[in-house]
Structure 1
Amino acid sequence: MIAACSIAGSDSGGGAGIQADLKTFTAIGVWGLTVVTAVTAQNTREVRGSWMLPAEAVAAQIAAVCDDFSIGAFKTGMLGTREIVRTVAERLPEGIPLVVDPVMISTSGHRLLDEAAVLDLARFLIPRADVVTPNIPEAEALTGMAILSLDDMAEAGRRIIDLGAAAVVVKGGHGAGDGVTDMLVDAAGTVRLSGRRYPYAVHGSGCCFAAALAAYLARGMPLREAFASARSFVDGAIAAAAGESGSLRIVNPGGTSFAGEHGR
């Protein structure tokens, strides 16, 4: 079976992180592997605490899954410290698609990546990425520029490519307006995908999108096709949440659903 591996933190509420990634992998039809970087105490409203694993524990998990599984893609989320960032960059095997979701601050405002680790993320891990998936605040932190327009999103994507990434998806959920536009920037130019903005908050949608992107890449899709499929997948999950108090519902093509108490 095709496998994809999430390297991220555990969300006790099940709405983001490792738990959301596993649900997404299953819905798309890939076997989910995990490398846990942190344990968090959180729910849909707040992160109450987080505890990082030692870097050697992260390295051991990477070695274990790589020794026994044929992995089609890796996805990173919450890495927390510069030691873990460097360990992941050093221990990931070459030649396997890598999606880097540069998780820095939770929706509720809890810092999930040390400030010192941001530079190491840009220096060591982003150059290994096939695609980086920052939201607007994360793209601003990585580039040092304000993002106020679609042109700014494109410029931020180009600047992150200058750091060494092969491609970037700047997620537009934090932008203004009634719609949401996500933008893929790669060597061939840009692709914009737009949709409606739903009138409720979301916990875990960024994790879900990056995991879906990794799953489709693991299944052999070209990046632009995987981008469109991942965007459609997340839009469907968000749309299904309407009328359910903002509960995000992940549904696979066969109809099996995974309902979590998290929304967008």
Structure 2
Amino acid sequence: MKIVIIGGSGLIGTKVAALLRNEGHNVVQSSPSTGVNTVTGEGLADVLAGAEVVIDLANSPSFAPADVLSFFERSTSNLIKAETPAGVRHHVALSIVGIERSPDNGYFPGKIAQEAIVKKGNVPYTIVRSTQFMEFIGGIADGGTIDKTVHVSPGAFQPIAADDVAAFVAEAATGTALNQTIEIAGPDKKPMSDFLTGYLAATHDARTVVVDKEAKYFGSLVDDQSLVPLGTAKLGKLDFKTWFAKRAQAAV
């Protein structure tokens, strides 16, 4: 079947596309660079013609809170509006675990708005909420660095490898629309500070991790419930050690 991936050239989009093509599906990876702009609506009617499934992996080009909110409101509304006449049977959106539990995070209100528009639309849907990607741990360390020390919360963290995220998204896209939200996470849950300490050691980074309960995660204080699934979740196969070994091997 024809599956359109919005934001198809990104980290997850490229991996999802490869998985679905291996299963024999007709996959179209769309983005502004291919002439498809979900914010303006440009190219949507053409790319969605004949599509049965749409996977929305689009992301705001600006992380300023107002820009993020505007992007997801306009992009998602345009997508749902265009999917109806195209006859799309399943809309899959990738979101984030715990977006309602970190009110000071400037990015999360945009994802909340995105989910609300999908739920209110008339296209059957599945929302896949994911924990943070392991690939972004280095960026988290950089964001918390002060004078060669990394200040990080001891709050619970359960990162997931991008390969596992892609597998779950592809699985959702080829399955029946659930009209509900599922959550995915990595196989290991422990303090965020433990993951960052392990990452810095593995990358031979000399920075020291300082466990700081007041350290913010992208503007918001976090605790043991902020960023991890609180109920049933599908768990990825790659733990941190296995993921890092694969990452190191691929870099050789």
Is TM more than 0.5 here? Answer: no
Shorter-chain TM-score tier: 0.3 to 0.5
Normalising by structure 1, what TM-score?
A: 0.42
Normalising by structure 2, what TM-score?
A: 0.44
Structure with higher Rg: it is 2
